[in-house]
Amino acid sequence: MKQSRFFAIIFKYFIFLLVSTAGYAQKPETFKLSEQARPAPESVFAKFRKAGMDPVDHVLTPSEKVKVDNAFAMLPLLHQKILKRHLHSISFMDNMPNTALTSPVETTGAVKKFNITFRAEILDETISEWATWKEKTCYDFAANKEYQLLIDAGTLDAILYVLLHEATHVVDVVRDLTPHPDDADALVAPTAFTSNVWEKMNVPVPGFIKPLLEKTRFRGGQLIDIARAPEVYATLEQTPFVSLYGTASWSEDLAELVTIYHLTAKLGQPFRILMLKNGVELYRFEPMKNQLVKRRVDQLDSFYK
């Protein structure tokens, strides 16, 4: 009797181990974006050197790795899925002239792969700080120093905004959410996203071509006097574009809309552009309250399924 009880106990313990081990083996591994960090492809370094820059590879610190992994965890589910399959690597550079660059990477397989290179300085900035800096590059403050421009976008890390924007470019290419002609001037069949908004890659339909916006930096124009900023945003409000940068092309339009929608609607962050004179608010632009922008939100459902 004692022997049979002994074997019964051993058998139950064996079953316990078997079930526990099986459950552990089936548990999915956590994807850490920071583990994909490596030096940028030589072609990226060469591009910046040719422009007279001297970019240097930036090795992530432990705290910076946490910021990168946290940013990945806050992306929409579709972004996470696409990056896990199609991201070749991420890179960070010091002395990089622009904020980020997404580049295709040649591989022997059939799956499209991409590298995303980031300017390392954004790891020390909030979205509000970085977005304010970028927006101010559109304006000339020399003659009107009493004016201030601020973007209130919360206190989350800037890497989240930039990663979300660049990852949307990857999703776009993989899913063909916007057309990708070899010639920017080509007339091609629109997608659901570009229809009735864009005529060509960087040419909106006539109803959304505004003379003042055509003079802005992101439309190939020059710096605009900061005193005209309220007029600029009032004009932007007559279009379905969520930001000045979104007017640059249909791919930037998609990336900006997805990014600002996700930050505000899904993460509960603010996004408002404030124009002040001597510290007193003159004008406020909140793109997600624009009815023309709101009409496009339903097209973003696929990012969350």
Under 8 Å between Cβ of 111 and 85 = yes
**Cα distance between residue 241 and residue 233, in whole Å:** 11
40: its two tokens: 């940028």
What's the pTM value of the predicted model, to 2 decimals? 0.89
Distance in angstroms (rounded) separating the CA atoms of residues 125 and 131: 10
The helix (run of H) or strand (run of E) holding residue 147 is strand 147-152
HSE-up (13 A, CA, CB side) for residue 33 = 30
Helices (H) and strands (E) in the chain, counts: 10, 11
Element (H or E) spanning 18, and its range? helix 2-26
pLDDT at 197: 98
The pLDDT value recorded for residue 25 is 39
Could you tell me the residue ranges of all domains in the chain? 33-304
Tokens 């009797």 belong to: 1
Residue 19, pLDDT score: 39
pLDDT of residue 160: 98
DSSP string, 50-92: HTT---EE-PPPHHHHHHHHHHHHTS-HHHHHHHHHHEEEEEE
Confidence at residue 29, expressed as pLDDT on a 0 to 100 scale? 57
CA 209 to centroid of chain Cα atoms? 25
Q: What is the pLDDT of residue 9?
A: 43
pLDDT value of residue 52: 86
* Beta-strand relationship, 203-204 and 198-200: antiparallel
pLDDT per residue of the chain (305 residues) written in tens, 0 to 9: 445 554 444 444 443 334 344 433 334 457 899 999 999 999 889 988 888 888 999 999 999 999 999 999 999 999 999 999 999 999 999 989 899 999 999 888 889 999 999 999 999 999 999 999 999 999 999 999 999 999 999 999 999 999 999 999 999 999 999 999 999 999 999 999 999 999 999 999 999 999 999 999 999 999 999 999 999 999 999 999 999 999 999 999 999 999 999 999 999 999 999 999 999 999 999 999 999 999 999 999 999 98
How is residue 174 written in tokens? 């993989």
Rg over CA atoms, the chain: 24
The per-residue pLDDT for range 179-223, each reduced to its tens digit, is 999 999 999 999 999 999 999 999 999 999 999 999 999 999 999
